[in-house]
């Protein structure tokens, strides 16, 4: 039987642990199944232009385990099914280049594609699978908001970085008796804010799943000062939003405001205390993956190579409990996992005296 040739690609925003997955696919595919592995650069964009191909031999993946980012490059643009092309006049046209990708896939002599990416990439992977491409998916997002898997790699690193930031903010907040507001990532869900907030011992955690009562938040901070705790740390998810507020006209958000800067401004204006804010941003996505993310990435990569060997196409690896399983890619797309406002994690935070947004009387 001829040697199988498979490709790996990474799409969407990067996440610490992507290189661990690439390395594991390459090692397992080569060592156990005698497959040849190539990399397609910059997600599905690289399939439109076949020149964006690299050999993934032993040397190519040597030393990449502790590295953040992805050696294959990535993009969150360039869906081949709805590709935006600019003509000579600068007019943008949306065209379907999926057939071109199918041709390139054939021309490269590929037997399978391992597509690593978030919800958007899994959507594209499923569409290619339906067109006849043998695809296996590996889910990724630092936001941890994919329903099909208990955890995604990259999340633990993001939470670890955010927790360290809270630790550092604590010492300066205490020294200056300030309220520090830290805004963390999570496009739609509050997982990073909630877990880092608990782990870092924050005083307030504001997440999109619990639209927060501004008055109660302000009273909570005021009471802390009154009781002699001369500082407060608020962790605000980038998608957090306040409940509609009776003073909305007075406190309308400016275009330049983010959820964190707006909340910081509210505290400063209403309590007259010194406030500083910080948007942690892409620091949460950069740098070396934690042990947990290296482990999860490696386990996902090995299982993805096994699925290719089993010809279990249209499947995506996922962590359920302690086991890496596989689910139909189709079942995983468009389904997000949100923090349960009445669940154990929020209860844990509130039991620790952390304000999580609910209206209360003090």
Chain residues binding ligand F6P by CB under 6 A are 13, 76, 141-143, 185-187, 238, 285
Whether 329 and 122 have beta carbons less than 8 Å apart is answered as yes
Any catalytic annotation for residue 143? yes
Nearer to ligand F6P, 259 or 301 (CB): 259
Nearer to ligand F6P, 142 or 196 (CB): 142
Q: Please tell me the distance from the alpha carbon of residue 352 to that of residue 362, in angstroms, as a whole number.
A: 17
Q: Please tell me the distance from the alpha carbon of residue 261 to that of residue 281, in angstroms, as a whole number.
A: 13
Q: Please tell me the distance from the alpha carbon of residue 9 to that of residue 18, in angstroms, as a whole number.
A: 10
Smallest gap from Cβ 193 to ligand F6P, in A, equals 11
Residue with tokens 């949100």: 338
Residues 6+ apart with CB under 8 A from 26: 8, 37, 56, 57, 58, 60, 61
Q: Please tell me the distance from the alpha carbon of residue 277 to that of residue 85, in angstroms, as a whole number.
A: 40
Closest CA to 296 of 82, 153, 199: 153
Contacts of residues 318-326 at CB distance under 8 Å and 24 or more positions apart, as own/partner, are: 318/139, 318/148, 318/149, 318/150, 319/149, 319/150, 319/151, 320/149, 320/150, 321/150, 324/299, 324/300
Smallest gap from Cβ 76 to ligand F6P, in A, equals 5
Smallest gap from Cβ 242 to ligand F6P, in A, equals 19
Nearer to ligand F6P, 69 or 211 (CB): 69
Residue 131 burial by CB count (10 A; 0-12/13-18/19+): exposed, middle or buried? middle
Smallest gap from Cβ 66 to ligand F6P, in A, equals 20
Bridge pairing between strands 92-95 and 83-86: antiparallel
Smallest gap from Cβ 106 to ligand F6P, in A, equals 32
Nearer to ligand F6P, 112 or 280 (CB): 280
Nearer to ligand F6P, 213 or 238 (CB): 238
Smallest gap from Cβ 346 to ligand F6P, in A, equals 20
Bridge pairing between strands 36-40 and 5-10: parallel
- Helix, strand, or coil (residue 234): strand
Residue among 42, 143, 203, 326 flagged as catalytic? 143
Q: Please tell me the distance from the alpha carbon of residue 31 to that of residue 209, in angstroms, as a whole number.
A: 45
Nearer to ligand F6P, 186 or 242 (CB): 186
Question: Which of left, alpha, beta for 13 (phi over 0: left; psi -120 to 50: alpha)?
Answer: beta
Nearer to ligand F6P, 110 or 333 (CB): 333
Q: Please tell me the distance from the alpha carbon of residue 359 to that of residue 269, in angstroms, as a whole number.
A: 20
Residue with tokens 């909630």: 194
Smallest gap from Cβ 315 to ligand F6P, in A, equals 23
Query: Catalytic positions, please?
Result: 143
């Amino acid at each position: 039987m001829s040697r199988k040739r498979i490709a790996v690609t990474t799409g969407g925003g990067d996440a610490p642990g992507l290189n661990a997955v690439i390395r594991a696919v390459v090692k397992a595919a080569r060592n156990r199944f005698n497959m040849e592995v190539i990399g397609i650069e910059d997600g599905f964009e690289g399939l439109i232009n076949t020149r964006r191909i690299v050999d993934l031999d032993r040397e190519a993946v040597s030393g990449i385990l502790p590295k953040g980012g992805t050696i294959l490059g990535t993009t969150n643009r360039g869906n081949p099914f709805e590709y935006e092309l600019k003509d000579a006049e600068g007019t943008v046209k949306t065209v379907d280049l999926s057939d071109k990708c199918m041709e390139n896939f054939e021309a490269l002599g590929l037997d399978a594609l391992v597509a690593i990416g978030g919800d958007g990439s899994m959507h594209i992977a499923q569409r290619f699978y339906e067109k006849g491409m043998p695809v296996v998916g590996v889910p990724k997002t630092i936001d941890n908001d994919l329903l099909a898997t208990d955890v995604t790699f990259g999340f633990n690193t993001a939470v670890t970085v955010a927790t360290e930031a809270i630790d550092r903010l604590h010492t300066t907040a205490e020294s200056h008796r300030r309220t520090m507001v830290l805004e963390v990532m999570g496009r739609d869900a509050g997982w990073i804010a909630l877990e880092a907030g608990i782990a870092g011992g924050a005083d307030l955690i504001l997440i999109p799943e619990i639209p927060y009562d501004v008055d109660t938040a302000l009273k909570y901070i005021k009471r802390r000062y009154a009781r002699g705790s001369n500082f407060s740390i608020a962790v605000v998810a980038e998608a957090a939003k306040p409940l509609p507020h009776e003073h909305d006209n007075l406190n309308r958000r400016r275009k330049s405001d983010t959820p964190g800067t707006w909340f910081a401004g509210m505290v400063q204006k209403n309590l007259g205390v010194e406030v500083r804010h910080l948007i942690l941003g892409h620091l949460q996505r950069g740098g070396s993956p934690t042990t947990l993310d290296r482990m999860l990435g490696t386990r996902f990569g090995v299982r993805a190579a096994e699925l290719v060997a089993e010809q279990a196409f249209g499947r995506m690896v996922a962590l359920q409990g302690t086991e890496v399983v596989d689910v139909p890619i189709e079942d995983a797309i468009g389904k997000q996992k949100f923090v349960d406002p009445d669940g154990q994690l929020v209860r844990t935070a509130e039991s620790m005296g952390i304000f999580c947004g609910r209206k209360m009387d003090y």
